[in-house]
């Protein structure tokens, strides 16, 4: 299905988003002029500008090219944004990001990775495994792959496309996958769904979109009502319990997991996962399953998994010295925080864990306050930043002080971003975790440099 864009210019409203930027990179690679707006300049938008895109950072309808043939927008853009309001009455064709991705993916055998967490790393793993094989793929990722240093992968020959299937705003219902992965269906985005039943219904609909003769790969134990298309195969996956695809014989050597991969009618012995984290072994099993169903050989899988470097901001070890470690993670849901802390405990047993967490959204903090408090209490020390509002207005009584009061923890502090350097200087940090989906990412490079300077030997 072609987009049939007559005019040469495509305008992105919210171009700095991770999903939006991948689409922008795709269209500029295809020869279109790409213009866009975002509210702040970031490392990603700077990179887009270097790639030839024209971006401005204050809403101004006069900066939208008159010759624009298509506007692609993110649902995170507020309805009151003056450019959004102007464009709604401009007569220019407007499409949500998810609609465009759905149309592009319809021309390929799409491998779609869905789940309330795990989908970014899993989709990056699948794309890397496919890319390292003779089959290849195109990919639209929800994070910056360290192997590609990009969130976009283009192939002129492969029939496969790998996409991260985002459940926010039910975006993934625009996809009709050939192979679909579902990693998790925990409650999230209750500002959109309202309750967990609605989340289950959306994931069931996503699975129902799998094409005839396609495949669903779903984590074992997820009780999801399914109505699959005719001839569609359903497979389960797990770690250290039998399933259609599962890992067995796990061992941890020098921070990396080794395991055997069991699949229908076969087994690959002694695979090595190139990134740390027990939960990433689970993601790897799902990715291996999708790749082998797509035709990747066992030899290619073994080589590809060992060379996988991970995704920026996903259990991202930014500094590791003799006495100090700094890890950054996108974790913004209680289960993700729990998984991140547990993996750090396993990797650095006996070390003191200090965590800096920035809550994302007032509504998410309200909906999961008790669970956030329980997960954060797994740390030895908590430094809590104010809530990052994103698209939301404040909610009365919902703030970081409220969350702090719920933590069963003796060493907890409410800290402003600007006060963090001085706060850390007074502490004996052994393992530091930064976690959150807001603008906490602006602290990552300075913190990495802080540890490098502190641990550098005098000349």
pLDDT digits (tens, 9 = 90+) for 370-412: 999 999 999 999 999 999 998 788 999 999 999 999 998 779 9
CB of 38 closer than 8 Å to CB of 45: yes
Query: Does domain 316-455 sit in CATH 3.90.190.20?
Result: yes
Tokens 């999708």 sit on residue: 290
Distance of CA 390 to the CA centre of its chain: 17
Spatial separation of the C-alpha atoms in residues 308 and 327, rounded to whole Å: 18
Give the mean pLDDT of 270-299.
96
Fold (topology level) of 106-306: 3.40.1190
Kindly report each contact of residues 136-139 with a partner whose C-beta sits within 8 Å and lies 24 or more positions away, as own/partner.
136/160, 137/111, 137/161, 137/162, 138/108, 138/162, 139/163
Tokens of 166: 């985002």
Instruction: Give the CA distances from residue 224 to residues 11, 123, 202, in Å, rounded to whole numbers and listed in that order.
Output: 38, 21, 10
If you average pLDDT over every residue of the chain, what do you get? 93
Half-sphere exposure of 418 (CA within 13 A, CB side): 0
CB of 154 closer than 8 Å to CB of 138: yes
Spatial separation of the C-alpha atoms in residues 72 and 57, rounded to whole Å: 17
**Residues ≥6 apart with Cβ < 8 Å to 400:** 359, 365, 384, 385, 386, 387, 414
- Is it the case that residue 92 has pLDDT exceeding 90? yes
Q: Where are the domains of the chain?
A: 9-96, 106-306, 316-455
CB of 53 closer than 8 Å to CB of 28: yes
Give the mean pLDDT of 89-99.
95
pTM of the model: 0.89
Spatial separation of the C-alpha atoms in residues 303 and 230, rounded to whole Å: 35
Sorting pLDDT into bands at 50, 70 and 90, what band is 425? confident
pLDDT digits (tens, 9 = 90+) for 228-263: 999 999 999 999 999 999 999 999 898 899 999 999
Phi (first) and psi of residue 71, to 5 degrees? -110, 125
Candidates 1.25.10.10, 3.40.50.720, 3.40.50.1220, 1.10.30.50; CATH matching 9-96: 3.40.50.720
Q: What is the DSSP letter of 118?
A: S
State residue 189's pLDDT score.
67
């Amino acid at each position: 299905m072609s987009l049939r864009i007559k005019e040469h210019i495509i305008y992105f409203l919210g171009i700095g988003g991770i999903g939006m930027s991948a689409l922008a990179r795709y269209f500029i690679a295809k020869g279109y002029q790409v213009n866009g707006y975002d509210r702040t300049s970031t490392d990603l938008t700077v990179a887009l500008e270097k790639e030839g895109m024209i971006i401005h950072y204050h809403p101004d309808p006069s900066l939208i090219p008159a010759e624009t043939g298509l506007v692609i927008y993110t649902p995170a853009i507020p309805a009151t944004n003056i450019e959004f309001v102007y464009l709604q009455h401009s007569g220019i064709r407007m499409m949500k990001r998810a609609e465009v991705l759905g149309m592009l993916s319809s021309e390929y055998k799409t491998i779609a990775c869905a789940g309330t967490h795990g989908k970014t790393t899993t989709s990056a793993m699948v794309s890397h495994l496919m890319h390292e094989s003779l089959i290849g793929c195109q990919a639209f990722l929800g994070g910056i792959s360290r192997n590609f240093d990009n969130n976009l992968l283009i192939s002129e020959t492969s029939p496969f496309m790998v996409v991260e299937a985002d459940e926010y705003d039910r975006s993934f219902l625009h996809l009709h996958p050939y192979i679909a992965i579902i990693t998790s269906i925990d409650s999230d985005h209750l500002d959109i769904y309202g309750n967990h039943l609605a989340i289950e219904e959306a994931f069931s609909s996503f699975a129902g979109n799998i094409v005839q003769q396609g495949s669903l790969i779903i984590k074992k134990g997820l009780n999801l009502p399914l109505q699959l298309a005719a001839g569609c195969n359903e497979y389960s996956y797990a770690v250290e319990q039998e399933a259609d695809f599962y890992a067995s014989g796990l061992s941890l050597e020098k921070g990396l997991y080794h395991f055997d991969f069991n699949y229908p009618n076969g087994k690959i012995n002694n695979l090595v996962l190139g990134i740390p984290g027990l939960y990433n072994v689970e993601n790897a099993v799902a990715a291996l399953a999708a790749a082998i169903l797509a035709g990747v050989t066992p030899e290619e899988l073994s080589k590809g998994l060992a060379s996988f470097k991970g995704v920026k901001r996903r259990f991202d070890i930014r500094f590791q010295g003799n006495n100090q470690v700094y890890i950054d993670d996108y974790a913004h849901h209680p289960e993700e925080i729990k998984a991140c802390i547990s993996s750090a405990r396993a990797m650095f047993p006996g070390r003191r864990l200090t965590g800096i967490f920035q809550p994302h959204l007032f509504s998410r903090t309200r909906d999961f306050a008790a669970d956030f408090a329980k997960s954060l209490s797994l740390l030895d020390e908590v430094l809590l930043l104010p809530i990052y509002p994103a698209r939301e207005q404040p909610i009365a009584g919902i703030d970081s002080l409220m969350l702090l009061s719920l933590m069963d923890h003796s060493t907890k502090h409410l800290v402003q971003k600007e006060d963090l350097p001085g706060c850390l200087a007074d502490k004996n940090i052994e393992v530091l975790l930064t976690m959150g989906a807001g603008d906490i990412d602006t602290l990552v490079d300075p913190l990495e440099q802080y540890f490098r300077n502190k641990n550098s030997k005098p000349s």
